[in-house]
Amino acid sequence: MLSWKLPRLLNVHQVPKVFHEDSIICGYRSPPISATACVLSLFQMTNETVNIWTHFIPTWYFLWRILALFSSPGSLYDPLLWPLFVYLLSCCIYPLMSTCAHTFSVMSTQARHICFFLDYGALSVYSLGSAIAYSAYIFPDRWVNSTFHQWFVSWAVFNTVISTGVSCYSRFPEESRPRLSKVLRVTAFAYPYLFDSIPLFYRLFLCSGNDCTHNATLTMHIWHSILAFLTGFLFATHLPERLAPGRFDYVGHSHQLFHVFGVLGTYFQMEALIMDMNLRKNWLLDHSPMPSLSGTLGAWCSAMIISLLLIAAFSWALYWKPEEQERTKYICPALDAVSDRSPARWKMQ
């Protein structure tokens, strides 16, 4: 009779340091485990279970929304809808990549880093999807067709590449210099968000007059901004588990709340974008240039390809650097101690 054995759970002192989570004591899966065991752990209460399901379920919701919105004949041929399509595609990809990263990150040390490289790349591309949609629907009337507006998407593509590169690199000093790693990662995600939100923040908090596009979407934009701030705050502070290590191992720790608030923020962002597009459609058709395929899907695909190349390069470094260090042992045994402390040495001894 076929039987499945769930992965054995360990505490923080029983797993290699690379698998440690700040202030999480129990509920770790035992690395390395097979892909099958990783999937089975979805139905076992570990410190990753809620992380996985809080992004797996929203993936299907966003997929349903994109199918519902673009199921009508000819909708994909409407240039005004192309930015929304790219944005919703990004909304489907980033929670799916996060789900895969948290599910399969215990297969090996290298697999953990590669999984989160892909997760970070998906978040960076989601930021670009937001920027493309913001460029099409969010800019206040007085900024439409300005120089900043014309270069907004191009600069966002550059930000996406930088975000992917910095966030992936942040995993290398994670064990030896965790504070530096955290600062790099927070900066890598905060900077693109702040840049993308310049037209929105101006419209919400600084703009006054008839050409500021004050409409019924402002409340939803404010909710999105509040949830985005809470998401970043939780990611940076590791609250509440830092106040009571071990108490929130399975339910309620910061990364779970980070997922929940992040998805809710995306929901409010999506609804505000759709509402803005509908309310401003006639004005945009008269005053704003129609989105082009190269400026929407083309820009998004270009950033995706560059991000994947960066992820491939960082993944290759995980395997190349340990081998290089092994060779230096035979060249100069005195380098052993330095090699053992190197942040690039990911293989477990």
C-beta of residue 203 within 8 angstroms of C-beta of residue 212: yes
Pair of tokens at residue 317: 């470094």
Helix segments in the chain, DSSP class H: 35-40, 49-69, 82-104, 109-137, 147-169, 178-196, 198-201, 218-237, 254-279, 281-287, 299-331, 336-341
Question: Does residue 2 carry a pLDDT above 60?
Answer: no
C-beta of residue 224 within 8 angstroms of C-beta of residue 269: yes
Residue 28 β-bridge partners: 10
The pLDDT value given to residue 125: 97
The pLDDT value given to residue 332: 41
Pairwise CA distance, residues 220 & 218, whole Å: 5
338 domain residue, yes or no: no
pLDDT tens sequence across 13-50: 999 999 999 999 999 999 999 999 999 999 999 999 99
pLDDT tens sequence across 292-327: 999 999 999 999 999 999 999 999 999 875 544 444
Pairwise CA distance, residues 268 & 274, whole Å: 10
The pLDDT value given to residue 202: 96
Q: What is the mean pLDDT of residues 131-146?
A: 96
Residue 175 is part of which domain span? 48-321
Q: How many CB atoms lie within 10 A of CB 96?
A: 20
pLDDT tens sequence across 178-225: 999 999 999 999 999 999 999 999 999 999 888 888 899 999 999 999
CA 56 to each of CA 81, 95, 96, 98: distance values in angstroms, whole numbers, following the listed order: 26, 7, 6, 8
335 domain residue, yes or no: no
33 domain residue, yes or no: no
Range of lowest pLDDT (155-169, 298-312, 335-349):
335-349
Pairwise CA distance, residues 280 & 249, whole Å: 46
69 domain residue, yes or no: yes
Q: What percent of the chain has pLDDT over 90?
A: 83
Per the structure, how many domains does the chain have? 1
Instruction: Give the confidence band of 151 by pLDDT, cuts at 50, 70, 90.
Output: very high
Pairwise CA distance, residues 241 & 246, whole Å: 7
6 domain residue, yes or no: no
The pLDDT value given to residue 73: 83
264 domain residue, yes or no: yes
Mean pLDDT score across all residues of the chain? 90
7 domain residue, yes or no: no
9 domain residue, yes or no: no
Find tokens 């923020």 and name the residue. 265
CATH code of the domain covering residue 177: 1.20.1070
Model pTM above 0.85: yes
C-beta of residue 236 within 8 angstroms of C-beta of residue 186: yes
CA neighbours closer than 13 Å in the CB half-sphere of residue 248: 18
3-class DSSP state for residue 10? strand
